[in-house]
Every structure is written in structure tokens, then in C-alpha cells.
Amino acid sequence: MAAGVFFILLAGVGLLRMPDMFLRMSTATKASTLGLGLILLGTAVFFWELGITSRAIATSIFVLLTAPVSAHMIGRAAYSDGVPLWNKTKQDDLKAYYQTHHLVVPDETAVEPDQSPLPLSGD
């Protein structure tokens, strides 16, 4: 459990120290997922009861599957909305694919969204 607390503390430090949103999100997601998994493992070992152990394993699997996916989706949305990268970023592999909220395939043809946004009530 102490190792889990250490990794969650590391995630908190990463939130404060990383220079841009993408690095903060990566650090927080990876470290907190590992930290929570270790804490739940410690809980399962400490109580050593079938009900608690099965819940701890199920929660660990759920977090392990959902945290990276949600971080990826948030990162994609932030990138397509134009959230700036750190000014010392050397390489932007997605720059050729994203232009003004439209995903562009390598042959430069835009893929239009399936549905247009609904108009606001005042429009």
C-alpha cells in the first residue's frame, strides 16, 4: 500500500511539474493507475477474503481498462481543439492529420463528421 501511495503522490507531483496538459495527463494517468492498483492489491492481501479480493480485482481491471482510454480521448479532443503543446516540443506527429477540427487522412482529403452540431436556441 505504501508503494501505491508513493505512485499516487508521484502523479500529484507530475500534475504540478509537467509543462503542458498532455504531459500532465500522461503522468497522472499512468502513475495513478499503478498506484491505485497497488493499493487495491494491498487491500486484497490484507483482508484476504473472497468478497473483498474479488471486488479489488474487478476494480483494478476496470481502472486499468478505462483510465488509458479516457485519457486518450481527452487528449484527442484537446489536440483537435488547439490546446498548445509545450514550447520545447520537438516533434508533432499528428500535425499532418489534424487541421481545424477535421481529421485529415494522409492524401489530404478531409473526413467530415457524421453529424453537424445542433444550432443554439438563439441562432
Q: Does the structure show a pLDDT above 80 at 56?
A: yes
The 10s digit of each residue's pLDDT in 60-76 is 999 999 998 999 888 88
Q: Does the structure show a pLDDT above 80 at 28?
A: yes
C-alpha count within 13 angstroms, C-beta hemisphere, residue 101:
4
Q: Does the structure show a pLDDT above 80 at 123?
A: no
Q: Does the structure show a pLDDT above 80 at 112?
A: no
**What's this model's pTM, rounded to 2 decimal places?**
0.68
State how far Cα 34 lies from the chain centre: 13
Domain boundaries, the chain: 2-85+92-111
